[in-house]
A and B are shown apart, each in its own frame.
Chain A
Amino acid sequence: MRKCIRLILVVNLVAALGLGAVGCGKDKKESKAFSPKYDTETEYRLSVVGTYSNFESLESTFERFYTYYPNGEITYTYLDDYRNTIEPALAGTEPPDIYVVQPWMYKDPKFAALFDSAEELSDADLEINLDCIRPGLRWEMEGGKILTLPVFSTSYGMLVNQDIFEKEHLEVPKNYGELKSVCDKLKAAGYDSPVMGANTTTTPGIGYAFAYPMFAKTVADDREIEDRLNNLDASAGEAMRASLERLKEFVDSGYIDIAKCTAEIEDDYNAVIMRFFEGDVPMMLCSGDVVSGTKKRESKSDAFVAKPFAYGFYVAPSGDEGGYYMDSTSLLFCVNKNSANLDLTNEFVRFLTSEEQLGIMAQDKRLITSATDYSLDEVYASLADFPKERTISFRDTEILDTAVKQFRAAAYAIANGDMTVNQAVANYGTIPTD
């Protein structure tokens, strides 16, 4: 009996010590990760508005924030007609505490209020760790002020079915020469169209995903042409030549069957993913936004459920030296400096601005993180350590939307044989975009 009691006491003591040690360790780890600045019993109600109709990854971040500040509620609301309603909302009776902006809104008088209302996140008093954001995405405005927090980034490239490459004993191509070689082998192995994509004029479309990064690099390397491009000066059309010629060469070589793509891929998002999940497409051109939809659609694809495979996002290897990585912001948050709960709003942004939280959010959304660490999502693992000389961040160019649309229309026309490269170059500025 005494022996038994002694044993129980020893076990309890050891358990208590063990739990204590674990508990101490946990506290230490949490304090290193995030330490609340305010009373955690503070009651609050915050609202975030944006353009996503569904923003579950952000809502999951709210849940994680609640573990520190449990007595509050943060809601995310999709605003109809965001371009027209965000400004009245900021001036209205129920102004949002956090709202979404896009780079193209900057300097547009219509959206001036969005930036005027934005809190300066680089204010040292806020203790927001903006260093965790990739420098290319960190948007410093006049006076080095940072008003926006890039939450996600995006890019353009292709989804690669890694199981097919493994089965055919092939490496994912890193430059155009390798791409041709791989496509030849895949065709020989029975893949009629080794590369596919949405035959549209939109950003996830074939022409844009394959050729635009090369065009952007051309512009980034010669920014003098930028103004003429933005002014739709026909003489600036020459800047498109190299990238369009490469697109033309690629399509003509038969590595991508445009007719097949048109027939089998009805839209530039859902159909792209579902066709890719059929499992017989080695490379699918698309944007990062398309990749974000893959996670939820895995279970909706009977083919993928029956025969799942590994896949990843890669930069399309359109250049002789390699592909070009467009490191673009996808979504930016601003804090409403007139917020009724400004302290807690800033606190939430401080919580969000970390490698971990941004990484988890990006992983949940399956978009590219804006933080420096790509490691959380294997799909984007290929982007880590991508050569800087072939990386174009959104700040490297300032090509206006109208100019971009000219390129997209040109690329579409060339891919479909509606226009020659010379015609596209010559007609820059007047290429129909509808």
Chain B
Amino acid sequence: MKKSYIIIINILIVGLILFFIVKYANDRATESNRASIASFEKMTTTTEQIIANYLKDEQHLCDIWSNYINRSAEAGTPMTIDEAISFIRKAKISPEISGHLIYIDDGSMSGISTNASTTDPSDYSVNYSQIHIFENLEISNVEGVIKLTRAYTNPLNGVQSIAFLNNVKIVDRKTDKLRDGLIIRVVPVSRLEQKLVFLKGEYEKVEISLIDWDGDYLIHGKSLKNSNFYEYFRSYNPMSTQEYNRIVDTIREGIGSMHIQNSKGEDCVIAYTPLRGLDAWHLIAYISSKELTVNRSIDWLLLAIVSVGLLILLYFNLFILHGFNRKLTVAAEAANQANEAKSYFLSTMSHDIRTPMNAIIGMNEMIRRNSHEKKIQEYSEQIQNAGNTLLGIINDILDFSKIEAGKMELIEVDYTPVTLLNDLVNMVQNKAEEKGLAFQLDVDKKIPGMLRGDEIRIKQVITNILSNAVKYTKEGGIVFSVTADKAEGKADEVILHVSVSDTGIGIKKEDLDKLFVAFERIEETKNRNIEGTGLGMAIAQSFLHMMDSKLQVESEYGKGSTFSFDLRQQVVDWEPKQFQSERTQYHVPFTAPEARILVVDDSEINLKVFVSLLNETGMQIETADSGETCLSLFRRNHYDMIFLDHMMPGKDGIETLKEMKECQDTPNRGTPVICLTANAVSGMREMYLDAGFDEYLTKPIDTGRLEQLLLKYLPSNLITEVTEKHRILLVGSNIARVKQVAEWLSEHYQVAVAKSAEQAVAYLKKHETQLIVAEQACEFPIGLDEAGMLRICLEDIDKKEILSQVNEFFDGRD
């Protein structure tokens, strides 16, 4: 992971923690705020109760006055206005409160007061004609109902006051008639304000206002501007008329609170409640939001400390991480260097071993092809086996390296399972026989003729299993079984069941887990004489995993093991091909005498191997021992294919290829160039293809692969496919004569010789032959197919005669 990602993730985590802390704090704040507002609302309703009780008390006192006056009237002894005022003057206790009694029946709204005017101590007259406070007031003498005016200016002392009212009946002495009067209990607003002083303790900055239905103030909070609360609200809280009306209705209709903006644009909270007993009056408690949130239960200091702590931790972590990163970088560099050294070693080892191996295996192949001596053939086969084993070890190491690097890929091709099995049997059977082990082959005849899959890897898996079976079995035998079943639900697929059983040393249960561990060899001490890298099973299991399969092991220690796996393969051709276990002699699959090939390699022996391997194709093969020579020939002569080695002194293969590609003056533009290299480590194929090679062929040269490439890249008109020669077994006791006749027949047929019937029978047990040519006297066991036998007089017959008879035999059969 990149350092920047780690930093980003760290920052994100710190950010998230801070986010959650802030969110938590905010939630708590919101909760706290809600609680504060609820408490504020509660305070408002408490205040309302106090004010309502006070107003009720004041009204009650006013009622006492009016009741006394009215009862006198009801009793037939009505009071005059002076008597009534005199009574009130005696009844009232507080000097701040005054009583006014005015006539209302004549509209004069004038009368007298308990207190004199402040400007004239002898003047007790009072006039309300210019003070409009009685509009919209319906005054009825119902006990307990508060009849209250808005705040107004007391005409006698100019003090802002409120008035409690009641109707009274008084007598006018001038006329002796009862008149309608209004008794007014005048209370200074400041007296009401004093009732709210108690609030200062809890809410220092709360401002209480009392408003009437229209919003006009009775008591005016300091911060609330305007003479009308609703106008004030609208001035500083812009909104649509509908919204405004809704808010006014809300305040008028219930108890609650809301946030508003004051004249400075600050957020404030108002709590509102109607005054009980006074429908038209409302109490508004106003407080700044800041004041309400002062007591919030958020510990901002703690939050800040946590934030700073996290940031320090982040910085510290990044610092430590930076240190670790530096160490890791150093370690990674060392590991990279080690890995590069390993790669270099593998590459070098592979190259350096494969180069001489190419010569060994190549030359041995030539011996196998050209020698008919049994002993030499046997020696050659042993060389081939040893070579293949060595190559297998190198391949295992290289494959494991590829698997470790995650560079191993499956390459699917169409293949003939019969051929694959043939190769496997040919490879293992000899080894088994050499150890005196019975090798039993059980191949299902229903196996389709052609499948699609990674033939090389399948072959490698089975080879590893079979090789192990041979290696770890001292006596008894090996059973190699391959069967096929149609895959369920997939019409074009088949499941191959592959199983290898042996009577070998077996594996302990506790060791089964070690079986697939790389470089782990079970009972190392006991088996130290048995060759192996400990990679075979690990590689086999890895390949099977890649092919969605798994190697199963059943083993009994000391008695033997069974390795098996099921493999799903796509079917290309369902028609089965007959499996024949035989050792085959090499036959050149095609000839191309007109084809011109250039092979470039700094190793003279490898050039010789290449030329020898393709000798029978008849192709015109030119060699070059360096890049420079190659380029010289490249510019001068036309070639149909070029095989170019990579690692050469002087100009290497890639440099040479680059110059070849850049070369304009050449008859070889478009000529395919195949990389012929002993460098077979992982990633090399891609590297060579990227470098511009058309294909990649590793050393030691696999003749079959080489011939496949030639068939693929050579122009088809240059190729003549060679049909396989009929196989003839020539039996005769006169060795010299048998050799002579065999030589004649060899020009057209594949000829094997036997000097006796017994030898011929032994040969036939292991080899297939289409015709037995035997001298008359030779006696064969009963049951030998006479129809495939031609009797001749070996001593007298000439070349023409023998060829005529043999040709006639095969013509008749065809």
**A224 at interface (Cβ–Cβ under 8 A)?**
no
B132 with A73: CB separation less than 8 A: no
A90 with B158: CB separation less than 8 A: yes
Residues of A with C-beta under 8 A to B264: 63
**B190 at interface (Cβ–Cβ under 8 A)?**
yes
Given contacts A54-B231, A56-B226, contact A88 B263 (CB under 8 A): no
Q: How far is the CB of B120 from chain A (nearest CB, A)?
A: 9
A84 with B155: CB separation less than 8 A: yes
Residues of B with C-beta under 8 A to A85: 153-155, 158
CA distance A404 to B188 in the complex (A): 39
Q: Please encode chain A, from 294 to 316, with 1 for each CB lying within 8 Å of some chain B CB and 0 for all others.
A: 00100100000000000000000
Q: Please encode chain A, from 84 to 109, with 1 for each CB lying within 8 Å of some chain B CB and 0 for all others.
A: 11111111111110000000000000
B119 with A91: CB separation less than 8 A: yes
**B157 at interface (Cβ–Cβ under 8 A)?**
yes
Q: Please encode chain B, from 140 to 159, with 1 for each CB lying within 8 Å of some chain A CB and 0 for all others.
A: 00000000000011111111
Given contacts A59-B225, A296-B235, contact A88 B157 (CB under 8 A): yes
Q: How far is the CB of A117 from chain B (nearest CB, A)?
A: 12
**A75 at interface (Cβ–Cβ under 8 A)?**
yes
**B691 at interface (Cβ–Cβ under 8 A)?**
no
CA distance A73 to B224 in the complex (A): 12
Closest A residue by C-beta to B157 = A92
Which of A55, A78, A113 has the most chain B CB atoms inside 10 A of its CB?
A78
A60 with B225: CB separation less than 8 A: yes
Q: How far is the CB of B335 from chain A (nearest CB, A)?
A: 29
- B263 contact from A63, A77, A79, Cβ within 8 A: A63
Closest A residue by C-beta to B159 = A94
Given contacts A91-B119, A94-B190, contact A54 B226 (CB under 8 A): yes
A93 with B228: CB separation less than 8 A: no
CA distance A307 to B140 in the complex (A): 51
A88 with B160: CB separation less than 8 A: no
**B131 at interface (Cβ–Cβ under 8 A)?**
yes
Given contacts A80-B132, A81-B131, A84-B130, contact A89 B158 (CB under 8 A): yes
CA distance A86 to B155 in the complex (A): 9
CA distance A90 to B119 in the complex (A): 9
**B80 at interface (Cβ–Cβ under 8 A)?**
no
- Tell me the residues in window 45-72 of chain A with beta carbons closer than 8 Å to chain B beta carbons: 49, 53-56, 59-60, 63
A91 with B118: CB separation less than 8 A: yes
Given contacts A79-B153, A80-B130, A81-B153, contact A89 B159 (CB under 8 A): yes
B231 with A94: CB separation less than 8 A: no
Residues of B with C-beta under 8 A to A299: 238
Residues of B with C-beta under 8 A to A81: 130-131, 153, 155
A80 with B153: CB separation less than 8 A: yes
B155 with A94: CB separation less than 8 A: no
Closest A residue by C-beta to B231 = A54
Residues of B with C-beta under 8 A to A80: 130-133, 152-153, 155
Residues of A with C-beta under 8 A to B227: 53-55, 78
A93 with B153: CB separation less than 8 A: no
Residues of B with C-beta under 8 A to A53: 227
CA distance A59 to B118 in the complex (A): 28
**B799 at interface (Cβ–Cβ under 8 A)?**
no
Residues of A with C-beta under 8 A to B133: 80
B155 with A56: CB separation less than 8 A: no
- A89 contact from B132, B153, B225, B235, Cβ within 8 A: B153
Given contacts A75-B222, A94-B188, contact A87 B153 (CB under 8 A): no
**B30 at interface (Cβ–Cβ under 8 A)?**
no
CA distance A184 to B96 in the complex (A): 66
CA distance A77 to B159 in the complex (A): 10
CA distance A56 to B263 in the complex (A): 10
Closest B residue by C-beta to A57 = B225
Q: Please encode chain B, from 449 to 474, with 1 for each CB lying within 8 Å of some chain A CB and 0 for all others.
A: 00000000000000000000000000
Q: How far is the CB of B619 from chain A (nearest CB, A)?
A: 72
CA distance A401 to B643 in the complex (A): 128
CA distance A88 to B158 in the complex (A): 5
- Tell me the residues in window 295-347 of chain A with beta carbons closer than 8 Å to chain B beta carbons: 296, 299
CA distance A73 to B190 in the complex (A): 14
Q: How far is the CB of B234 from chain A (nearest CB, A)?
A: 8
Which of B132, B153, B238, B263 has the most chain A CB atoms inside 10 A of its CB?
B153
Q: How far is the CB of B99 from chain A (nearest CB, A)?
A: 16
Residues of B with C-beta under 8 A to A87: 119, 158
Residues of A with C-beta under 8 A to B156: 88
Closest B residue by C-beta to A87 = B119
Which of A73, A88, A90, A299 has the most chain B CB atoms inside 10 A of its CB?
A88
CA distance A75 to B263 in the complex (A): 16
CA distance A89 to B154 in the complex (A): 9
Closest A residue by C-beta to B223 = A63
Q: How far is the CB of B774 from chain A (nearest CB, A)?
A: 99
Q: How far is the CB of B216 from chain A (nearest CB, A)?
A: 9
Q: How far is the CB of A185 from chain B (nearest CB, A)?
A: 38
Q: How far is the CB of B207 from chain A (nearest CB, A)?
A: 10
CA distance A325 to B686 in the complex (A): 100
**B293 at interface (Cβ–Cβ under 8 A)?**
no
CA distance A79 to B155 in the complex (A): 9
Closest A residue by C-beta to B220 = A75
Closest B residue by C-beta to A52 = B227
**B591 at interface (Cβ–Cβ under 8 A)?**
no
Given contacts A53-B227, A54-B231, A80-B152, contact A93 B160 (CB under 8 A): no
CA distance A140 to B76 in the complex (A): 63
**B117 at interface (Cβ–Cβ under 8 A)?**
yes
Residues of A with C-beta under 8 A to B226: 54, 56, 59
Q: How far is the CB of A92 from chain B (nearest CB, A)?
A: 4
Given contacts A56-B226, A85-B153, contact A93 B235 (CB under 8 A): no
Given contacts A56-B235, A60-B263, A84-B155, contact A92 B225 (CB under 8 A): no
Residues of B with C-beta under 8 A to A91: 118-119, 157-158
CA distance A56 to B223 in the complex (A): 11
Residues of A with C-beta under 8 A to B154: 85, 88, 92
A88 with B130: CB separation less than 8 A: no
CA distance A85 to B119 in the complex (A): 10
Residues of B with C-beta under 8 A to A84: 127, 130, 155
Q: Please encode chain B, from 211 to 247, with 1 for each CB lying within 8 Å of some chain A CB and 0 for all others.
A: 0000000001010011110011001001000000000
B157 with A89: CB separation less than 8 A: yes
CA distance A86 to B153 in the complex (A): 9
Residues of A with C-beta under 8 A to B117: 88
Q: How far is the CB of B81 from chain A (nearest CB, A)?
A: 21
CA distance A62 to B283 in the complex (A): 24
A93 with B159: CB separation less than 8 A: yes
Closest A residue by C-beta to B132 = A80
Residues of B with C-beta under 8 A to A96: 158
Residues of B with C-beta under 8 A to A56: 225-226, 232, 235, 263
- B157 contact from A54, A60, A93, Cβ within 8 A: A93
CA distance A93 to B161 in the complex (A): 12
Closest B residue by C-beta to A302 = B241
A92 with B118: CB separation less than 8 A: yes
Q: How far is the CB of A71 from chain B (nearest CB, A)?
A: 12
The 28 listed contacts between A and B (C-beta, < 8 Å) are: A49-B158, A53-B227, A54-B226, A55-B227, A59-B225, A59-B226, A60-B225, A73-B222, A80-B130, A80-B132, A80-B152, A80-B155, A84-B130, A85-B158, A86-B158, A87-B119, A88-B156, A89-B153, A91-B157, A91-B158, A92-B118, A92-B157, A93-B118, A93-B157, A94-B157, A94-B188, A113-B119, A296-B235
Shortest beta-carbon contacts, A-B, top 7: A89-B158, A92-B157, A91-B118, A81-B130, A80-B153, A54-B227, A88-B158
A89-B159, A93-B118, A96-B158 known; 19 new pairs, CB 8 Å cut-off, are A54-B227, A56-B226, A56-B232, A59-B263, A60-B225, A73-B222, A75-B220, A75-B222, A80-B131, A85-B154, A88-B157, A91-B157, A91-B158, A92-B157, A92-B159, A93-B188, A94-B190, A296-B235, A299-B238
Question: Chain B: residues with CB nearer than 8 A to chain A?
Answer: 96, 117-119, 127, 130-133, 152-160, 188, 190, 220, 222, 225-228, 231-232, 235, 238, 263-264
